[in-house]
């Protein structure tokens, strides 16, 4: 099996490519400099040169707040870019795995979102990923859509690095306490994604570490683990100024992993412990 990973220099793609290599799977990782996914011609040329059996599509526009003012670029990358890849995969009978997000849901209620629940995004970023999902489902039968949430890893910017940076310049930080979900480590996401593409059990999956917490809970656990005397102040989403609306409920139902023989991920606490060992070594 030959696998092409888009966005291989990004947070998720980096660890996916690393996991494939660790399993001795033939992998080629590309970034935006190697292929402009917003160009159908460029995508077609790249896939025809590489001739992969599977494309794991991790490339994307991920700046949730900036997307509210940069709509055209966000849609071009996440919607049109994904459609281009799906079209070429259809032409050449290539299996596609598309990494999506909990932001395709509106974040209401308290129940974990099931894979087939109605998608009603409340942000530009969420809508662009929703349109990406629709494109994959329109053109392909052999596809996986993997929704991930609250992602952090060694490569790229994320919540953990941001709050640690803030703590370096202030003894107090304010963190949202009414958004509930699961922080998820890219290393664990990568293992699940590779398990999924090897299963050949197509469909939609929710991939996240086990357990739920708020961003506030997550920050408190982080500083306790590091024995840092930082005062974490809980605030509501209304008081925390952000351009894009975030889902209050980002809980994901992961039962489809077990149904298809895919191992569930460790707890979010275990994941953060392992990340900190990697990050601080």
Q: How far apart are CA 176 and CA 41, in angstroms?
A: 43
Instruction: Tell me whether residue 24 is in a domain.
Output: yes
**pLDDT for residue 239 is more than 90:** no
Q: How far apart are CA 6 and CA 86, in angstroms?
A: 13
Among candidate residues 14, 103, 125, 212, the one labeled active-site is 125
Domain harbouring 129, CATH code? 3.40.50.720
Q: Which domain holds residue 193?
A: 2-157+182-210+251-266
**Cβ–Cβ under 8 Å, residues 149 and 208:** yes
- Residue 14 bears catalytic tag: no
Instruction: Tell me whether residue 106 is in a domain.
Output: yes
Domain count, the chain: 1
CA-only gyration radius of the chain, Å: 18
Q: Torsion-angle region of residue 211: left (phi > 0), alpha (psi -120 to 50) or beta?
A: left
Instruction: Tell me whether residue 228 is in a domain.
Output: no
Task: Write out pLDDT tens, residues 140-179.
Answer: 999 999 999 999 999 989 999 999 999 999 999 999 999 9
Instruction: Tell me whether residue 193 is in a domain.
Output: yes
Task: Write out pLDDT tens, residues 60-95.
Answer: 999 999 999 999 999 999 999 999 999 999 999 999
If one compares 280 and 122, the residue with the highest pLDDT of the two is 122
**Cβ–Cβ under 8 Å, residues 79 and 59:** no
Instruction: Tell me whether residue 279 is in a domain.
Output: no
**Cβ–Cβ under 8 Å, residues 156 and 8:** no
Provide the whole-model pTM. 0.96
């Amino acid at each position: 099996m030959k696998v092409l990973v888009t966005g291989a220099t990004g947070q998720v793609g980096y660890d996916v490519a690393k996991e494939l290599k660790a399993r001795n799977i033939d992998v080629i990782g590309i970034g935006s400099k190697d292929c402009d996914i917003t160009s159908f011609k460029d995508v077609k040329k790249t896939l025809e040169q590489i001739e992969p059996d599977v494309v794991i599509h991790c490339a994307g526009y991920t700046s949730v707040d900036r997307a509210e003012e940069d709509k055209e670029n966000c849609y071009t990358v996440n919607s049109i870019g994904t459609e281009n890849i799906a079209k070429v995969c259809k032409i050449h009978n290539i299996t596609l795995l598309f990494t999506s997000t909990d932001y395709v849901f509106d974040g209401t209620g308290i129940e974990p979102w099931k894979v087939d629940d109605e998608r009603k995004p409340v942000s530009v970023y969420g809508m662009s990923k929703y349109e990406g999902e629709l494109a994959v489902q329109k053109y392909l039968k052999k596809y996986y859509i993997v929704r991930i949430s609250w992602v952090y890893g060694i490569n790229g910017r994320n919540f953990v690095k941001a709050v640690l940076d803030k703590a370096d310049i202030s003894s107090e930080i304010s963190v949202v306490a009414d958004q509930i979900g699961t922080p998820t480590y890219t290393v664990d996401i990568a293992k699940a994604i590779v398990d999924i593409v090897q299963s050949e059990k197509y469909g939609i999956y929710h991939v996240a570490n086990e357990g739920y917490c708020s961003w506030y809970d997550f920050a408190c656990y982080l500083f306790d683990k590091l024995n840092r005397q930082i005062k974490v102040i809980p605030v509501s989403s209304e008081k925390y100024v952000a351009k894009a609306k975030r889902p209050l409920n980002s809980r994901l139902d992961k039962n489809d992993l077990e149904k298809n023989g895919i191992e569930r991920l460790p707890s979010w606490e275990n994941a953060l412990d392992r990340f900190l060992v990697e990050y601080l070594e």
